[in-house]
Chain A
Amino acid sequence: MKTLADLKKIREKAQEEMKLRGGNVRMKIVVGMGTSGIAMGAREVMKTFLEEISNRSLTDVLVTQTGEKGLSSMEPVVDVIEDGKDKITYGNMSPEKVKKVVVEHIVNGRIVSEYVVATGN
Chain B
Amino acid sequence: MQDISLHLLDVIENSVRAGAKQIKVRVIQNGPDNYLRLIIEDDGCGMDSQTLEMAQNPFYTTKEEREKKVGLGIPLFKQNAEASGGAFKIASEPGFGTVMTVDFQLDHIDRMPLGNLKDTLLGAVVGHPEVDFYLNLIYQSGCCKQSFLFDTAAIKEELGDIPLTYPDVIEYIDQSLYEGILNTRMEDV
Contacts and interface: CB of A to CB of B under 8 A. Distances in A.
Nearest to A15: B162
B165 A62 contact: yes
A85 interface: no
Contact of B119 (A13, A44, A53, A67): A44
B34 interface: no
Contacts of A113: none
B166 A50 contact: no
A67 B165 contact: no
Contact of B68 (A39, A62, A68): A68
A64 B174 CA distance: 16
B129 A64 contact: yes
Contacts of B167: 53-59
A36 B24 CA distance: 24
Interface of A: 1-2, 4, 6-8, 10-11, 13-15, 18, 23, 25, 31, 33-35, 38-39, 43-44, 46-47, 50, 53-59, 61-65, 67-68, 70, 72
Contacts of A14: 162, 166, 168-169
Chain B interface size band reads 35 or more
A18 B166 CA distance: 11
A10 B165 contact: no
B159 A10 contact: yes
A72 B73 CA distance: 14
Contacts, number: 113
Given A61-B165, A67-B13, A7 B158 contact: yes
B160 interface: yes
Given A1-B179, A39-B1, A10 B155 contact: no
A57 B174 CA distance: 15
Given A4-B155, A57-B167, A63-B127, A43 B67 contact: no
B159 A11 contact: yes
Given A10-B172, A54-B167, A59-B167, A38 B6 contact: yes
Given A34-B13, A38-B1, A68-B66, A54 B159 contact: no
Contact of B158 (A11, A13, A39): A11
B73 A50 contact: no
A32 to B, nearest CB: 10
A55 B171 CA distance: 9
